[in-house]
Amino acid sequence: MLIEPLGQQIAVCSLEEAARLTRADQGYWNVVSIRGSFDYKADLRWAKTIHHACFDDVEDECSAIYRSPRHADVADMFAYIRSLGVGPPRPPLLVHCAQGISRSTAVALSWIYGNLPPSEQRSVKAVDLILEVRPQAKPNRLVLTFGLAEFMAVDEARELAQRLLADPRLEANRFQRPLGGWSES
């Protein structure tokens, strides 16, 4: 989807959708591929460029079992995105994680917010845009905070992340059934 205020095509999707999109549009998408610590790297051989990141979908910085996202992980993703150039037009960007609803939407939302012109409606506009790109978005709080910290001080980023996640539309998504259904395990 073209994000007109950014002048950039952005897609946010699941692993399976990313494989289909890169195969359909060979050599077009620059991909941020986020996988969990127990997952294999995605086969995205038809992407134009790929940045691989590995951390789990947890919002606790001290998880004993899973690999929590770290500020350095998110900073590396943003360094990759910035390295693609500024255009015009900006290079197309595809961000995926397992289901395309938490880690990937947090990266995309923070990128969109950080690149929108400052205004009183900037937060609302950023949420509007992420929901247009991925209606079922449930951004990961920790990844969103680290992403926003690429554009502002960490304390400001933490506060803004809380405000963005408190948007009633994003809050409502937190109570929706996951794409694969509820797990019985």
pLDDT of residue 181: 55
Contact partners, residue 122, CB within 8 Å, separation at least 6: 113, 116
Instruction: Indicate the domain borders of the chain.
Output: 2-173
Confidence of residue 182 (pLDDT cuts 50, 70, 90): very low
* Least confidently predicted of 21-35, 74-88, 138-152: 74-88
- The CA distance from 35 to 37, in Å, is 7
Q: Cα separation of 172 and 170, whole Å? A: 5
The model's confidence at residue 99, banded by pLDDT at 50, 70 and 90, is very high
- The separation between CA 59 and the C-alpha centre of its own chain, rounded to angstroms, equals 14
Residues in the chain: 185
Q: How far apart are CA 55 and CA 73, in angstroms?
A: 8
pLDDT at residue 69, rounded to an integer: 94
- What pLDDT, on the 0 to 100 scale, is given for residue 51? 97
Q: CA-to-CA distance for 30 and 169, rounded, in angstroms?
A: 28
Residues of the chain with pLDDT > 70, as a percent, come to 95
Which residue from 30, 12, 9, 29 is spatially nearest to 90, judged by alpha carbons? 9
The CATH architecture to which 2-173 belongs is Alpha-Beta Complex (3.90)
